[in-house]
Chain A
Amino acid sequence: MPSFLLVRFSFSKTIGQNHGMNGTEYQTAVRNEPLSRRSFLGVLLGFGSVVVGSALAIPLIRVALHPLLSKTTETGWSDVGKADEFASITGPIKKLITVEQRDGWRKIVSEKAVYVLPAKDGAMRVLSPICPHLGCSIPWVEAKQQFVCPCHNAIFGVNGARVGGPAPRAMDDLECKIDNGMLKVRYQYFRQLIPTKEVLA
C-alpha cells in the first residue's frame, strides 16, 4: 500500500467525523493528532505559499520598479549646426535647437534657444540663455556687446561672465562636443539664485 494512502487513512481515523464539533471538541481533536506530521505539513505549506507568492511577486516588483531600474532618462545630444558655421564668428550667435525628451512611452520635442560663443583656443562654448537669477531668457544686445536680462537687468559680458545686476553667477555653460563636424549640445536646466551651477534633475 503506498504510504500516501496510509497517511490519509490514519488521518481520517484520528479525526473522524467533525461535522458539528464545538470549539472544545475541535481543540481536543487538534491536540490528539500526531503533532509532528501536522506541523511538518504546516511548514511545507508555509514554504509552498512563500514560493508561490514570491514567484508571482518578483515579476510584479520588477515591472513596478521599471522607472528606477532603467537607465536615467537624461536628455540626449541636440544638433546645433555645422562646426564650420561657427569657426569665424566674432560674437555670440543665437541658435534654436530641438530637444527631444522621453516621457515614458511619449517623446516631447521642444525648441530651445542657445548661444554659441566664438571658439577660444579651439574649444567651442555654448551658453544657456536662461538667467541664473530668476529664469528669464537673456537677449544678446549687439549695441552694448553685452547680455542684458530684460527682467531685472542682470548684465553679462561677451563670454557670459557676470558684469553687474542681481545674478548670483555667470551664465551657464552647456555641455557640448563636435561629432562628425556637427556641433552638439546637451540641453539642461540649472538651479537659480545660487552662486554655483547645479543641474536640475
Chain B
Amino acid sequence: MADARNSESLGKRCYNWLDQRTGLGSLMHEALDEPIPGGARWAYVFGSVLLFLFISQTVTGIFLALYYVPTADHAHTTVAYIVKEVTGGSFLRSLHAWGSSAVVIVLILHLTQTFLYGAYKGRREVLWISGCALFGLMLAMAFTGYLLPWDQKAYFATTVGTNMASEVPWIGSMLKRFMRGGNEMGTLTLSRFFVAHVFILPAIILGFIASHVYLFRKAGAAGPPSEHPIEPKLPTERFYPKQVLMDTAVALIMICVLGLLSHFYPTELGPQANPADTQYVPRPEWYYLPIFQWLKYFKGPLAVVGIVVIPALTAVLILALPFIDRRLERRPWKRPIAVGIYFAILGTLITFGLLSKREDRLDPAIAKQVAKQNEETEQFMRAPFEPEAAASSLSAPAVVVALDPVAAAGKKVYDAESCDACHGENGVGTNVGPKLAGATAQKSAEELTKLLRHPTEKMLAGEMKAVNVSDEELKALVAYIKSLK
C-alpha cells in the first residue's frame, strides 16, 4: 500500500488530495468532456471567444477604474490622465474600446452561426432567449460605457440616445429623466451610467452567461446542420482537447488583433464635454449607425414608429424565432425563407450604416464640421496633460484674502504670529493643531476675539497661548479666520 502510494508522482498525489476535497476531477470532467456530435469545428468557436472577450473587458475595465473618477468635473481629466500620463494607459483604454467593438462583431458572428446551423431548434427556445438577452445587455454596456470619458462625442451621442427614450409612449419623459437623473445631462447622468456599466449590467450579464452555458449543456451541442437537433446520431468528440484548442487559438488571434489595433490606432479622447456647444455634430459608434440612419426616415409624429414600434416588433420577432420556426429541419439550403429574411435584415443594417457614412461625406456643412471636430480631437490629443487644480489648493482662500483688505492684513498677523505653525497654511489644520476653516470660522467675531485673548483650559493644555497683538491686529486676524472656508 505504502509502496503504491510512493510510486505515484507528487503531482498526481497533489491532484488526488485536491480532488478528494473539492471534486475538481468531476468538475473538470463536467466542463471539458461535453460531447460534440460530429466533432470539433472552427464554426463553434464564437461562444468561447465571447466569453474570453467578456473576461478581457472585465479585467481591462477594472484596471481602468484604478484611475477613473465618475463625476462630471473629474471624469474627463482622469481619462486624459489615463491616456496621456499613465504607463500603458492609452493602450489599456484602447484594448477596452476596441474590445467593445470586437464583442459586437463576434456577437453577430455567433448569432449568424447559430442561425445558419439552425442551432436554436429542438427544445432550445430558452437558450435562444437567454442569448438574445445577452445581445441586448452587451449593447447596453456599449451605450453606457460610451458616456464615461465625458468628452464632446460621448456627451452629445448620449444626449441623443437618452432623448430617443422620450419617444416611448406614456412613460417616455419619465424614462428619459430616470436615465439622466434629471431633465438635463449632468453629473448624475454620469453616476447612473457608471453604476449601470460597472455594477448592474455586468452582474446581470454574469447571471445570463451562467444560464446560457447551463442551458447549452442541458440541450447539448447541436452539431452540424445535418444532425438531428434532439437525438444526435453522429459519433461525438469531447470538448477537450480539440475544440478547446481551437477556441484558445482564436482567442489568441483575437488578443493579438486587439493589441495591434490598440498599438497602431489608439482610441482618442476629444475635448471635454461643452454643453453650450451648439455646432457639434454627434455621431454614434459604428454599431449604432444603422439605427441612427433608420431614424432619419421617421419625422414628426412618425418618430414613435421608427424609434419604438418597429424596433420593438423586430425584437419580439427575433425573440420568438424558435417558437415561430418550429420545424426540426436545420440545413440552411432547406430553409430559404428564414435564411433570406436573416440576410435581408443584416443587409439592410449594413446598407443603413454605409448610407449614413455616405450622407455625412456628401453634405458639405456636416463634412466640414466633422473635419473640424476631428481636428479639435487631434489638437487635444497633442496637448500635454493639464492636471486639475485641487479644491483644497491655494486659490479659494487666496481669492477671499485678495478681495478683503482687512482679511489680507489678518493673514499677515496670522503668518507673523506663526499661527500656521500649528493650524497650518490657511487654517487647514495640522497634526498638532486643529483646523480653523469651517466650524471655528463660523463662530461669532466676539467669541473668536475672546478665545484668542483668553484661551480656554483645553486650548492652553494644547499649547495654544493667548495672542499678544494690538486690538486692531486682532480684529484683522479674526476677520481673516472668519474668511476661511
Q: Do A and B come from one complex?
A: yes
A12→B56 contact, CB < 8 A = no
CA distance A70 to B86 in the complex (A): 8
Quick one: closest A residue to B394, CB to CB? A109
Q: Which residues in chain B, 244-266, are within 8 Å of chain A measured between CB atoms?
A: 244-245, 248-249, 251-252, 255-256, 259
Supposing A103-B390, A108-B393 touch, asked if A12 and B78 sit within 8 A by C-beta, the answer is: no
Residue A89 interfacial (CB < 8 Å):
no
B236→A17 contact, CB < 8 A = yes
A17→B249 contact, CB < 8 A = no
Give per-residue flags for A56-86: 1 if the beta carbon is below 8 A from chain B beta carbons, else 0. Answer: 1001101111100110000000000000000
B251→A52 contact, CB < 8 A = yes
Contacting residues, chain A, for B236 (C-beta < 8 A): 12, 15-19
Q: Can you give 22 A-B contacts (C-beta < 8 A)? A: A8-B39, A15-B237, A42-B241, A48-B248, A52-B252, A59-B88, A59-B91, A59-B92, A62-B87, A62-B88, A64-B63, A66-B87, A69-B87, A103-B390, A106-B388, A107-B388, A107-B390, A108-B390, A110-B393, A111-B398, A111-B425, A150-B417
Contacting residues, chain B, for A41 (C-beta < 8 A): 241-242, 245
B81→A104 contact, CB < 8 A = yes
- Interface residue count on the A side (C-beta < 8 Å): 57
Residue A200 interfacial (CB < 8 Å):
no
Contacting residues, chain A, for B245 (C-beta < 8 A): 41, 44-45, 48
B255→A56 contact, CB < 8 A = yes
B92→A66 contact, CB < 8 A = no
For the complex of A and B, 4 pairs with smallest distance between CB atoms: A62-B88, A137-B421, A136-B421, A105-B81
CA distance A8 to B249 in the complex (A): 17
Residue B313 interfacial (CB < 8 Å):
no
A106→B390 contact, CB < 8 A = yes
CA distance A114 to B385 in the complex (A): 30
Residue B284 interfacial (CB < 8 Å):
no
A45→B241 contact, CB < 8 A = yes
Supposing A11-B237, A109-B394 touch, asked if A60 and B249 sit within 8 A by C-beta, the answer is: no
Quick one: closest B residue to A42, CB to CB? B241
CA distance A150 to B417 in the complex (A): 9
- Interface residue count on the B side (C-beta < 8 Å): 65
CA distance A63 to B52 in the complex (A): 21
CA distance A151 to B417 in the complex (A): 11
Supposing A45-B248, A56-B255, A135-B432 touch, asked if A26 and B242 sit within 8 A by C-beta, the answer is: no
Residue B326 interfacial (CB < 8 Å):
no
Contacting residues, chain A, for B252 (C-beta < 8 A): 48, 51-52, 55
Give per-residue flags for A132-153: 1 if the beta carbon is below 8 A from chain B beta carbons, else 0. Answer: 0011111100000000001100
Residue B392 interfacial (CB < 8 Å):
yes
Of A15, A44, A55, the contact of B259 (CB 8 Å cutoff): A55
Of A23, A65, A66, A136, the contact of B422 (CB 8 Å cutoff): A136
CA distance A169 to B383 in the complex (A): 46
CA distance A105 to B235 in the complex (A): 60
Contacting residues, chain A, for B40 (C-beta < 8 A): 8
Contacting residues, chain A, for B256 (C-beta < 8 A): 55
CA distance A151 to B462 in the complex (A): 11
CA distance A60 to B95 in the complex (A): 10
CA distance A9 to B39 in the complex (A): 8
Of B29, B92, B418, the contact of A139 (CB 8 Å cutoff): B418
Of B56, B89, B426, the contact of A63 (CB 8 Å cutoff): B89
CA distance A17 to B234 in the complex (A): 9
A18→B388 contact, CB < 8 A = no
Quick one: closest A residue to B418, CB to CB? A137
A109→B35 contact, CB < 8 A = no
CA distance A51 to B385 in the complex (A): 34
Residue A178 interfacial (CB < 8 Å):
no
A105→B255 contact, CB < 8 A = no
CA distance A23 to B33 in the complex (A): 12
Quick one: closest A residue to B420, CB to CB? A137
Contacting residues, chain A, for B244 (C-beta < 8 A): 45
A66→B86 contact, CB < 8 A = yes
Q: Least Cβ distance of A20 to chain B in Å?
A: 10
Contacting residues, chain A, for B416 (C-beta < 8 A): 139
Supposing A19-B35, A48-B252 touch, asked if A63 and B393 sit within 8 A by C-beta, the answer is: no
Q: Least Cβ distance of B228 to chain A in Å?
A: 14
A13→B463 contact, CB < 8 A = no
CA distance A15 to B34 in the complex (A): 12
A104→B67 contact, CB < 8 A = yes
Contacting residues, chain B, for A11 (C-beta < 8 A): 39, 237, 242
Q: Least Cβ distance of B63 to chain A in Å?
A: 5
Q: Which residues in chain B, 392-409, are within 8 Å of chain A measured between CB atoms?
A: 392-395, 398
Q: Least Cβ distance of B260 to chain A in Å?
A: 11
Residue B373 interfacial (CB < 8 Å):
no
Q: Least Cβ distance of B262 to chain A in Å?
A: 8
A134→B235 contact, CB < 8 A = no
B241→A38 contact, CB < 8 A = yes
Residue B389 interfacial (CB < 8 Å):
yes
Q: Least Cβ distance of A47 to chain B in Å?
A: 9
Q: Least Cβ distance of A160 to chain B in Å?
A: 16
A105→B241 contact, CB < 8 A = no
CA distance A69 to B77 in the complex (A): 21
Of B235, B259, B420, B422, the contact of A16 (CB 8 Å cutoff): B235
Q: Least Cβ distance of B383 to chain A in Å?
A: 15
With contacts A51-B252, A135-B430, A139-B417 known, what are 15 further pairs, Cβ within 8 A? A48-B248, A48-B249, A60-B63, A63-B86, A66-B67, A94-B415, A105-B74, A105-B81, A106-B388, A107-B388, A111-B394, A136-B421, A137-B421, A138-B421, A139-B416
Residue A113 interfacial (CB < 8 Å):
yes
Supposing A17-B35, A109-B389 touch, asked if A151 and B463 sit within 8 A by C-beta, the answer is: yes
Q: Least Cβ distance of A171 to chain B in Å?
A: 14
Residue B387 interfacial (CB < 8 Å):
yes
Residue B159 interfacial (CB < 8 Å):
no
